[in-house]
A = this chain, B = another copy of it.
């Protein structure tokens, strides 16, 4: 207990749950780490997809196209921020306007996105560190997992007021990148490391394919923009206006950084490789191998790890919403000791851990999986806004709806490009995962609904549950295997319930049974002992057969009540020493398919051993 409270902190009272209000400067730091951090890998992804030959001419147009797409999305979100000031984000927008189906698809995409943000950002942050210190390159997975654990524990502690801490690396990162772009702008061009001969010209059809593929890869830069929509509630008033200004600033900063970095990479003829990031190569070219370079690398790692933190805030909140609407187990809606959604945090950490171990911490392997989920949720949430605006018919609704519709179509086209060009690279996994999640959500929800219906008092049949006190002379069956203080307690309780008590032993070990018969006789019990044979050494089946026989005797007394002694060892590990016959009986009675056991009363009388190791 002490270790746990040292690591996770002491429990907090419910009344401590207050929301910190953020001004625009702090809000930018909190919400932008996810999206800004993506410049650390987006340029690299574009260059990798283009290959050496095409990266001579195409990167900058691609970066500009992606920036254009960014502003279309921003215009659409501009409207969402006002329409949904309480947050809830894409899931709420899609579900309220497009129905459960689209809502759940959005929720599934967002979940995948949050999980992949954690994995991708951790890998990329670690790659930034390893680029600066190549000697660490054998410890990529170790570094990833250490950082993951620290962030998960910090979130389980429920650290609030972290905005101040977050501001430093975010603004530091923005400043250093802009400084780098400005200096780089005035530096001489690099010389290509490879000379392209005439024969190496690529046919036009392949070129189109590769450019589309590079565009799809670069769209990873746009992931994270949705996080601001989920957090409008935490802005200072006027909330949606402040959120809008922050959103536009974010967009401007992102697009200029992305285009700037791509420009420099092109200018310096940088070739991506698996031991150093593109950003690291640019920084080294601009600043040289000195303290400035290391500052850039550390800030890059810092902002990427903060993006991980953003997902650790976002995913448990989404899971909480889904759990409250009963699409996932309700325990995800419970606030833990420290007022954090602990179950969501732990689930996210475990899945991310498995992904990192499985992909051995290689960012580029995870990227194809990434943009797909994000663009699915973009498309659906903007389509939802379109429906919303058409229904509302507020001032200028036609223009607004047109913007959302255009945004939705643009992101949908991008989605198709991503699916088409990244399918074999791993996007198929996401295309399996999202429907799987969708059907699980539905299945769980249906099950909760069914259960509630079945348990509901209005569904009738209540009378069969009622036992009249004056008519309470039940048949009681007590299974025993040995006569000890535990079974005695059960027998005595059974006798106080009724005069019609039968003790039953299943004869598996005939020596034991003989001993029991002797003791029984010597104790002069008024309760008869019935011995059941068991040719196959099962204890459960002969007992159940006997029980059903008993049910049929004197039907006016109802079903036989079972009173069992269950043995509770003094420490948890000692459970392996005991056979838990009571649990086996209970499961046997409850899951034997022949009949419903809804009206059977099973009384378990635990006997607690002295506590001790």
The interface residues of chain B lying within 8 Å CB-to-CB of A497 are 497
How would residues 22 to 64 of chain A score, 1 for a CB under 8 Å from any chain B CB and 0 otherwise?
Answer: 0000000000000000000000000000000000000000000
A330 touching B577, Cβ below 8 Å: yes
> A331 an interface residue at 8 Å Cβ cutoff?
yes
Interface residue total, chain A, C-beta cutoff 8 A: 70
Q: Which residue of B lies closest to A333 (CB)?
A: B509
Most buried by B among A483, A578, A604: A604
B611 touching A602, Cβ below 8 Å: no
Most buried by B among A459, A586, A608: A608
> A597 an interface residue at 8 Å Cβ cutoff?
yes
Please choose the segment from A8-16, A88-96, A298-306, A424-432 that sits at the chain B interface, where 4 or more of its residues have CB less than 8 A away: A8-16
How would residues 414 to 435 of chain A score, 1 for a CB under 8 Å from any chain B CB and 0 otherwise?
Answer: 0000000000000000000000
In chain A, residues 356-387, which have Cβ atoms closer than 8 Å to a Cβ of chain B?
A: none
The interface residues of chain B lying within 8 Å CB-to-CB of A600 are 606, 608
B329 touching A576, Cβ below 8 Å: yes
How would residues 91 to 103 of chain A score, 1 for a CB under 8 Å from any chain B CB and 0 otherwise?
Answer: 0000000000000
The interface residues of chain B lying within 8 Å CB-to-CB of A329 are 576-577
> A462 an interface residue at 8 Å Cβ cutoff?
yes
B610 touching A454, Cβ below 8 Å: yes
The interface residues of chain B lying within 8 Å CB-to-CB of A462 are 485, 488
Nearest-CB distance from A126 to chain B (Å)? 28
B495 touching A469, Cβ below 8 Å: yes
Please choose the segment from A142-150, A208-216, A588-596 that sits at the chain B interface, where 4 or more of its residues have CB less than 8 A away: A588-596
> A486 an interface residue at 8 Å Cβ cutoff?
yes
Nearest-CB distance from A555 to chain B (Å)? 18
Nearest-CB distance from A29 to chain B (Å)? 31
A454 touching B485, Cβ below 8 Å: yes
The interface residues of chain B lying within 8 Å CB-to-CB of A598 are 485, 607-608
The interface residues of chain B lying within 8 Å CB-to-CB of A454 are 485, 609-610
> A185 an interface residue at 8 Å Cβ cutoff?
no
**Given A456-B484, A469-B495, A485-B465: A608 in contact with B579 (beta carbons within 8 A):** no
Nearest-CB distance from A480 to chain B (Å)? 13
23 A-B contact pairs sorted by A residue (CB < 8 Å): A14-B537, A444-B577, A454-B609, A454-B610, A455-B484, A456-B484, A461-B485, A467-B493, A467-B496, A568-B590, A586-B606, A590-B606, A590-B608, A591-B611, A596-B608, A596-B610, A597-B608, A598-B607, A600-B606, A601-B605, A602-B605, A603-B605, A604-B604
Question: What is the interface of chain A, defined by CB distance below 8 A to chain B?
Answer: 11-15, 329-331, 334-335, 337, 444, 447-448, 451-452, 454-457, 459, 461-462, 465-469, 472, 483-486, 488-489, 492-493, 495-497, 535-537, 568-569, 574, 576-579, 586, 590-591, 593, 596-611
What 8 A-B pairs have minimum CB-CB distances, sorted nearest first? A455-B484, A467-B496, A472-B496, A597-B608, A465-B489, A13-B535, A604-B604, A11-B536
